[in-house]
Chains A and B, each alone.
Chain A
Amino acid sequence: MSSMPEKNYLTEKRGLKSWLLTLDHKRIGVMYLIGISISFALGGIFALLIRLELLNPGRDIVGAQTYNQLFTLHGAVMIFLFIIPGIPAALGNFVLPLMLGAKDVAFPRLNLASWYIYVFGALLAVVSIFTGSVDTGWTFYTPYSTQTSGAVVTMTLAAFILGFSSIFTGLNFIVTIHKLRAPGMTWFKMPLFVWSLYATAIIQVLATPVLGITLVLLILERVLGMGIFDPAMGGDPVLFQHFFWFYSHPAVYIMILPAMGIISELISTFSHKRIFGYRAIAFSSFGIAFISFLVWGHHMFTSGQSELASMIFSFLTFFVAIPSGIKVFNWLATLYKGSISLDTPMLYALSFLFLFAIGGLTGMFLATTATDIHLHDTYFVVAHFHYVMFGGTVIAFLGGLHFWWPKIWGRMYNENWAKISALLVFVGFNVTFISQFIMGIKGMPRRYYTYLDQYHRMHGFSTIGSWIMGLGFFIMVVYLVHSIYKGRPAGSNPWGSLTMEWETTSPPPTENFAGDMKLTHGPYDYDKIVPRTD
């Protein structure tokens, strides 16, 4: 029976000040984790309210104006406050230096600064909710966003500021990966999660400024009346869509790439097997990152852009599918002849395979121009997006959270409750969104406060699904919080994994490792070493 280490990063210094002024990447990771968890809860409550309102046509709990604000806030909070910083800034911050055998990230102060910028941006977003709120949708399409009343400037300013937090994290990770790898850790001995964070960081640094500039232009138009996007002032509203998606499409890969990195770690660890196609997985992240900059126009097949533009964007979009498919097949091949255990993180990895397959395959219908015309801006797109973003990113995030939870806190959660919760989330998610695929195909447009009777039954299913998911998350909060105080000590390597973060105590000491680290084996050498579980 293992016990908790006497001295660790959680206990070495105490008091609020020691947290707020910390430069330790692990503490900053935990503070990010708290920030994004609050944001996720907030966005989740908005989602439950949206689904409740849509239980019946017409008014159930709120009016049209409030409903429009709710779906805007759900999107804005989930995207800008949860899912973009989610994996890199919270889990990445905590485990990246540990995986590299480093003592910290390259720029610890920049790391803390990015957290404060995040908190400031988040508070500004909350302020916008109480100062008129926003009803533009998270996409802020012009000229609606130029003309509507409400706190559009505050919200866009918040998104602008949050962008800097993202850029800082990206820069920090790039330098850390280049400079702070333990002796012996060559590029191709790095864990795949590190590769995915690297590809993500490049997109963060290159794409986020474009969003920043776009949002500033929108603010200038609203505040100073400069005609950039609003045709009433001589602007072009479709230009905004080009600018917006030039960031926001690559941003989708900021969200999904680190998730894929986590899945590689989980599948290898819980199959106790060398990852199949290491280089193919690593390079496919860069393939996806590169193509992601060239496909933004697939959001605009019905916008009136030229047929030639639609042709090129459709063609390129299909080629995002290939590297994504390669990853899926590599994960399957890793399972083959493994020694597979079904601990909670692995359940999440398997549910990722199931849900991401649906999310990816339904993307085919949208990349195909002829079928996209019918499906665009319907619930089909809403469901596709959620299968990729929730079924992909959030499920992988939860898998990673359960995987590294014992490392972060030194204690185990209740495995049975964790499995029940994972099952509820999986079932609830499918009930919620499969019904949305069906009504989308039948023509139900998105962002509708009320709807025709023919869609009533599917909306009913969808709402019931949201309650099942809500219950799953409620249980998760209870057993996770409980485990921090009462969980049994985890030991340094509870899953028997070969990556470096498991070679130190749980929780790790402030300086991460006792002494300097040197690479003694590759991250996936399950054919050479039987890892000790303790």
Chain B
Amino acid sequence: MDTTGTLLMPPAGSTIAGEVDAIFNLILYVSIFFFILIVGLAAFFVFKYRRRGEPGLTSGVDHNIKLELLWTIVPSIIVVMFFVVGFRLFLKMNIVPANAIEIKVTAQRWMWTFDYPDGANSVNTMVVPVNQPVKALLSSTDVIHSFFVPDFRIKMDVLPNRYTVAWFEAVRIGEYNLFCAEYCGKGHSEMLGKIKVVSEDDYKEWLEESFKVDESMPLEEYGESLYRSRACNTCHTTDGSGSVGPTFKGIYGHQVILSDLKTVTVDENYIRESILDPRAKVVAGFQPVMPTYQGRLRDREIDALIAYLKSLKE
């Protein structure tokens, strides 16, 4: 079990997480003190001065300069302190170290795509080396999303019209959740990714591997792994149940009705077209929301996905 983080906070996976937690705890302790003060005094007064019998005249004291200055100035000093420590760390969280490697992150409904410096790419899993600052250059192709990694204590909105930046330096090898934190529609809660933190050597090896086409695996099996790693499973089921897109079960070889009421048989060419130009022929009853995989999948990978769909008979 991961023992970093605090009682309330999740494990601390980045260099700044511990510092955020320290400020969180500072505010927490001050808050607990004031909460006990307020509720304690209220409870004590209610008990001590509870009404016994008919009420008479009560004290008319309605101000006390010393007391009022005290409860104005002390909280003011405390909040200015919170502001200062919070903003100092905030600046650090916003200034990207010069030696950071840059990974382009593209958000779209409802998946994450990562482009690495030397041309490799991945979907929904961001692979990064440990103990190395990483700059995530964020943009969206549709609505606003938000790049949120709780264990790293970072969050940054991903906008369609401009680039935003988030950076982190992971301190431990492992897998961390990536959430979309800005509401983006039906698949918002399933727009999940992983940050996979690996050693420097494993990172290099992964980058090299990603350029090799896996020739060894049977097409069908390879297609099944792609179905998951390329996030087809976010919107397409294989058990016949409905989701954001049509289920893959038994779809191959069948005729489907399109949104313009034409019919088309789902064959190799239709599948290939739907992967590369998904909005060309949309099945009736579904929204044209699938992003294109143009440039993201190689021919052998498309072949593998077609083989996988063929295997999903009813």
Contacts and interface: CB of A to CB of B under 8 A. Distances in A.
Given A64-B187, A318-B83, A364-B27, A307 B94 contact: yes
Contacts of A276: 61-63
B38 interface: yes
A175 interface: no
A304 B183 contact: no
Given A314-B87, A325-B75, A370 B20 contact: yes
Interface stretch (A2-10, A217-225, A350-358): A350-358
20 contacts: A68-B183, A135-B185, A144-B184, A302-B146, A302-B181, A314-B87, A319-B76, A329-B71, A333-B67, A336-B49, A340-B45, A364-B79, A369-B87, A370-B23, A371-B20, A377-B146, A377-B155, A445-B180, A445-B189, A446-B181
A338 B71 contact: no
Contact of B58 (A365, A442, A448, A527): A527
A338 B49 contact: yes
A449 B82 contact: no
Given A326-B72, A370-B87, A364 B82 contact: yes
A342 B50 CA distance: 8
Contacts of B87: 311, 314-315, 369-370
Contact of B60 (A326, A368, A528): A528
B155 A374 contact: yes
Interface string B8-44: 1110000000011001100110110011001101100
Interface in B47-84: 49-51, 55-64, 67-68, 71-72, 75-76, 79-80, 82-83
Interface string B133-145: 0000000001110
Nearest to B162: A304
Contact of B68 (A277, A307, A328, A524): A277
B154 interface: yes
B153 A374 contact: yes
B157 interface: yes
A448 B155 contact: no
A113 B150 CA distance: 50
A270 to B, nearest CB: 9
B164 A137 contact: no
B146 to A, nearest CB: 6
A380 to B, nearest CB: 10
Interface stretch (A20-28, A155-163, A176-184, A230-238): A230-238
A354 B90 CA distance: 31
Contacts of A416: none
B148 interface: yes
B186 interface: yes
Interface residues of B, number: 82
Contacts, number: 259
Given A314-B87, A368-B82, 10 more contacts: A272-B51, A280-B68, A318-B83, A335-B42, A339-B55, A340-B46, A350-B46, A371-B24, A373-B155, A450-B190
Contact of A68 (B86, B186, B190): B186
B157 A304 contact: yes
A447 B51 CA distance: 47
B9 A231 contact: no
B179 interface: yes
Nearest to A353: B42
B46 A337 contact: no
Interface string A228-258: 0001100011100000000000000000000
B181 A371 contact: no
Given A332-B45, A376-B181, A304 B50 contact: no
Contact of B51 (A238, A341, A353): A341
Contacts of B249: none
Given A68-B185, A371-B27, A530-B57, A310 B90 contact: yes
Contact of A441 (B9, B31, B62, B189): B9
Interface in B110-148: 142-144, 146, 148
Contacts of B61: 274, 276
B157 A302 contact: yes
B93 interface: yes
A137 B38 CA distance: 35
